[in-house]
Amino acid sequence: MKVLANDGISPAGVEALEKAGHEVILTKVAQEQLENYINTKQVDVLLVRSATKVRKDLIDATDLKIIGRGGVGMDNIDVDYAKSKGIHVINTPAASSDSVAELVIGHVLAGFRFLHQSNRDMPLNGDTNFKELKKAYAAGIELKGKTMGIVGIGRIGQAVAKRAIGLGMNVIVHDKFAENVSVNLDFFDGQQLEFKLKSVSFDELLENADVITFHVPSQDNYILGATEIEKMKEGAAVVNTARGGVLDEKAVLSALEKKKLRFAALDVFEKEPTPEIKLLMQRELSLSPHIGGATLEAQSRIGTELAQQIIALSN
């Protein structure tokens, strides 16, 4: 079969597909040209990440056999409609969990220790205002003993919980679809420990968490807006590596300006790929350009898993 990896695929994935006799096309085709390209090249399999959209019109206009999403959420694909047309829809829900979780912890550590700010200021003023900067950033917060609130306790949420526990944090969770949750921590020497996580109401999580991280699908309405932020602790923080639109960005900015929130971290935005300039200029925001699953290890796992599923479906 002909496989168009429109948003890319790892060399390991390409190698596995080609070894199985499939042709892999790595050309990046613009969204408006995708229909014509797929039909002209007689593409059987379309692989995407978050950039390319696979909607009803594209599905109807092509003869795709498999649509694959490298990652977890599939809100950029009309999944049910594709399945109704007999098209296989696949994804890799577990491949990037560790990568996203580590980015969350990275943002949390950066925020509580002012790294996102000091990394801006040191190159500019480190040689002339060293003592002043040291004083300005001397009020960091330790994570040990603090409470991590996790909204959405699927694979990524659980991966975050494991790392938070490893840092000595108390972990509480809220998930409409899970009441009792336990996670297993695997250690370097083969030891394993099980931790049972407390599932609480959203209001209880808002009131008790020192930092809240969101791991939910795309939403029709904000989960966290001005009303919810008012229920949070003074000086708490929020992290969004899930989807743009989970948080009300304007409400977050306002809360940062009023010092209600200590800091916020965003890897995803309501307006990608052109986030609001006010977000980019806000010093209390720790920012990254939607790189939650973008590690070499995750990309290799994603490519390999997609290849394995395609090979299995084609046999």
What residues contact 220, with CB distance under 8 A and at least 6 apart? none
Residues 202 and 177 in one domain: yes
pLDDT digits (tens, 9 = 90+) for 72-118: 889 899 999 999 999 999 999 889 999 999 999 999 999 999 999 99
Distance CA 25, CA 12 (A): 14
> Is 272 marked active-site?
yes
DSSP-assigned letters across all residues of 93-146: TTTTHHHHHHHHHHHHHHHHTTHHHHHHHHHHHTTTSHHHHHHHT------TT-
* Per-residue pLDDT reduced to its tens digit, 189-202: 999 999 999 899 99
CA 98 from centre of chain = 10
Q: Are residues 309 and 177 in the same domain?
A: no
Consecutive H or E run containing 82: helix 79-84
Residues 242 and 102 in one domain: yes
From the candidates 243, 262, 284, 301, give the one annotated as an active-site residue: 243
Count of structural domains within the chain: 2
290 catalytic residue (yes or no): yes
Q: Do both 104 and 237 map to the same domain?
A: yes
- Catalytic residue, from 107, 215, 262, 290: name it: 290
Query: What pTM, to 2 d.p., does this model score?
Result: 0.90
CA angle 182, 183, 185 (to 5 degrees): 150
Look at residue 222 in the predicted model and tell me its pLDDT.
97
Radius of gyration over every alpha carbon of the chain, rounded to an integer in angstroms: 22
Look up the domain containing 126 and give its range: 97-287
Q: Within this chain, do residues 78 and 143 fall inside the same structural domain, yes or no?
A: no
**Which entry of 230, 257, 272, 297 is annotated as an active-site residue?**
272
- How many residues in the chain? 315
Same domain, yes or no: 7 and 129: no
Active site residue 243: yes
Per-residue pLDDT at 310: 97
Give the pLDDT of residue 297: 96
Question: What CATH number does residue 215 fall under?
Answer: 3.40.50.720
